[in-house]
Amino acid sequence: MASVEERVVALVTGGAGGLGSAICRKLADANMVVIVGYNRSADSAHQLAKSLAGEGHSARRAPVTESAQLTALAAGIRKDYGRCDVLVNCAGITRFVRHADLEALDDELIDKILATNVRGAFALVRAFRPMLEGSPLPGGGVVVNVSSAAGTLAMGSNVIYCASKAALDNMTKSLARALAPAIRVISVSPALVDTEFVKAMDRGWHDEQVARTPLGRLATPEEIAAAVAAAITTLTFATGTILLVDGGRSLG
């Protein structure tokens, strides 16, 4: 097995969540060194880092709305690892608000969603650009933005969440153009993923989402993690791509 110094280093923000943890495990299984980025879930993130296959993993605070902290995070990773080849922007927030209930979607929630889901992803790319540009990976360093089919369908947990994912996909294309050829940027765009959070919701609502999906089920976190891994290791001539992993949900 390659030493830690020779292995691909990947930072996954939101790494302690249901989807983020599956991505971390998949990348570790692919022999990458994984840095589990977290905001408030320190205990879960450190436990996850210890449980990953292989050596050299760590958990580090990555508050995506605090640009100065992200700059410090990048400096710390450069000092300790000497490189960062992959950035997975998986941190994101939302809250269920009926699309017609405009009053419930207040300014504070709107600002928080956009700051986390859009500005946060941009700030991370900005902070990690120098290391990503120096990656020896085939096709260059890689940014994977974990988006959502809500960005295309305009159907999701609330209006601004949908708008934030549409903005993230648009930003993926703009950054892919701006950062080529040294860095590839790809959106992995699932529909509803069957995490523990989703499984705990109303069963009737859950079954309705399944019925709306042509493949007749929801995605597993592991399937989305496999798509992220493929974007990094296999799709080396893809950039600016919105990779739908939605079971056909976007077919209407």
Q: Map residue 142 onto helix, strand or coil.
A: strand
Which residue in 104, 215, 92 sits closest to 162, CA to CA?
92
Q: Is residue 43 exposed (0-12), middle (13-18) or buried (19+ Cβ within 10 Å)?
A: exposed
Residue 3: predicted pLDDT:
61
Q: Which residue among the candidates 45, 140, 161, 164 is catalytic per the annotation? A: 161
Predicted confidence (pLDDT) at residue 1 exceeds the cutoff of 60: no
- DSSP run (H or E) holding 86: strand 86-89
Cis peptide before 181 (omega within 30 of 0): yes
């860095």: which residue's tokens? 183
Q: All domains of the chain, ordered by start, with CATH?
A: 4-193+222-242 (3.40.50.720)
Q: Which residue has the higher pLDDT, 209 or 34?
A: 34
Is 161 an annotated catalytic residue? yes
Residue 228: predicted pLDDT:
98
């703009």: which residue's tokens? 174
Residue 2: predicted pLDDT:
59
Of the pLDDT bands very low, low, confident and very high (cuts 50, 70, 90), residue 168 is: very high
